[in-house]
Chain A
Amino acid sequence: MEYHNASAKNGAAAEYQNMCIESKHNDLHKEDSKDSKDSAGADKLAHIEKAYTTVLSELGEDVKREGLLRTPLRAAKAMQFLTKGYKETTQDILNDAIFDENHDEMVIVKDIDLFSLCEHHLVPFFGKAHIAYLPNKKVVGLSKLARIVEIYSRRLQVQERLTKQIASAISEALEPAGVAVVIEAVHMCMVMRGVQKMNASTVTSVMLGSFNDNSETRKEFLALTMRK
């Protein structure tokens, strides 16, 4: 029965899917009217809550015991929070914070704490993102770089795709001379289960523009961010 209900949402889901793959389709989601969105939202929450109740009982737990009474609701809300990036777009947060500035030296924001969910196991991965760009007449408010990280990380993600989405978003918004994004993260799906390697971390990077073409620029960025 769950499948019948779920199939009605595929249309909406497809739109979110477009959004999460390509940052270009930023304006797609704005069509929903606020009312239908709210009731659809409550509806979805109820479905997720019911699914979590099934999960708990299938794991052999007693859903009626005190500690678990409201867990399905809390877990559903937590999951919605952890995937709230689907509803946000770069345009919303960036539009008013791009400034014309005659600056063409490297701007770096590093050690941005990042929390995401592995799309393969639905288990968190977290770490730090380091972002650099070479402005081309336009600079962006610094916290907006961290907000871009938030938008794309609060989704079901793969670290490679996350890195590229952040880099593309900044590239499209600012048209800078170059963008570099490095993410270093620990994946709980590797630490808590599976191969169980406590200290392994995964590093991915995307270099666009002069960071890609010019090895000196790249070296400067890496020297400034990877310094311990």
Chain B
Amino acid sequence: MDHSKQTQYSSNEKKDAGASSSVLNGHFDGMVKRPAGGTGRAAASQPPGAESSSHRPAASVMESWREERTRSVEDNEMSLPSLAAAYTTILRGLGEDPQRQGLLKTPWRAATAMQFFTKGYQEKIIDVLNDAIFDEDHDEMVIVKDIDMFSMCEHHLVPIFGRVHIGYLPNKRVLGLSKLARIVEIYSRRLQVQERLTKQIAVAITEALQPTGVGVVIEATHMCMVMRGVQKMNSKTVTSTMLGVFREDPKTRDEFLTLIRS
């Protein structure tokens, strides 16, 4: 049931599928000039042959947990000088003087900060999850709510922050609770769009646990709307993804939404 739900989802996202698969391609093209971190990426580029073809569209759509991009710590070190140079250009372009005392090391600090804000590209779901899936005869709803989330808007490179609420109905397998928060971290520490982030978290949990259902709700403030543009201080954006029985059964969905609100 879950598989069919997934493919139904993924067929709706054919447009994204093209863009996302080129994401992985584009990423590898960009990294070709750095042979040092090659092995990790080569492994990630082959989708596991064992998976059925119904998973392939979902994988390419969602950059799912088997095909994570793998920026490495070495990549970070090697790109730091050009990142810092780019930030120096930005400072000059804004009319500031990069030589004044407060700004002397800013290009390096900003570059490292930006690498931290996109560290989700360095991590793989499979590393985070593999040892924390337990067989448990529990089939009631499990909710982890009010998970603080910080992301970067991919359109303006300005922070997004908010809270994530996750609920799932286990089907004989439960997940270590902090691993739900770690999944949020991996996907949120990237250049993101809130809709895609919500879906990626839900799909990752579905693929890892094959639960009866998953619900993810994200409530976030977008600095690109608050600090600039339309400048609405108090606006919040809420997105949700309901998979499996959360989607089909309104009572389950209601229970989840009531519990996260209390």
Contacts and interface: CB of A to CB of B under 8 A. Distances in A.
Contact of A86 (B25, B69, B95): B95
Interface residues of A, number: 64
Q: Most chain-B CB neighbours within 10 Å: which of A56, A65, A81, A82? A: A65
A55 B86 contact: yes
A14 interface: yes
B154 A71 contact: yes
Q: Would you call the interface of chain A mostly helix, strand, loop, or mixed?
A: helix
A64 B97 contact: no
A12 B228 contact: no
A74 interface: yes
Which of B83, B161, B227 counts the most chain A CB atoms within 10 A?
B227
B71 interface: yes
Interface stretch (B114-122, B176-184, B198-206): B114-122
Given A51-B89, A81-B228, A123 B159 contact: yes
Given A68-B191, A189-B113, A44 B93 contact: yes
A156 B96 contact: yes
B92 A13 contact: yes
Interface stretch (B103-111, B124-132, B244-252): B103-111
A220 interface: no
Interface in A62-91: 62-68, 70-71, 74-76, 78-83, 86-87
B85 A2 contact: yes
A16 B114 CA distance: 26
Interface stretch (B3-11, B26-34, B44-52): B26-34
Interface stretch (A114-122, A168-176, A209-217): A114-122
Contacts of A177: none
Give the size range of B's interface with the partner: 35 or more
Contact of B86 (A51, A68, A70): A51
Contacts, number: 192
Contacts of B91: 156
A9 B92 contact: yes
A226 interface: no
A10 interface: yes
B59 interface: no
Given A17-B96, A192-B117, A192-B159, A67 B26 contact: no
Contacts of B226: 115, 126
Interface string A87-120: 1000000000000000000000000010100011
A178 B109 CA distance: 38
B22 interface: yes
B79 interface: yes
Interface centre among A16, A47, A78 (most CB of B within 10 A): A78
29 contacts: A13-B97, A14-B97, A17-B97, A17-B100, A51-B87, A52-B86, A58-B82, A59-B114, A60-B71, A61-B26, A64-B22, A67-B154, A70-B155, A71-B154, A75-B156, A75-B158, A76-B93, A82-B228, A83-B96, A113-B233, A119-B103, A120-B105, A120-B106, A120-B109, A122-B106, A156-B94, A156-B96, A189-B113, A192-B159
Interface of A: 2-3, 5-6, 9-10, 12-14, 16-17, 20, 44-45, 47-48, 50-52, 54-68, 70-71, 74-76, 78-83, 86-87, 113, 115, 119-124, 126, 156, 158, 188-189, 191-193, 198
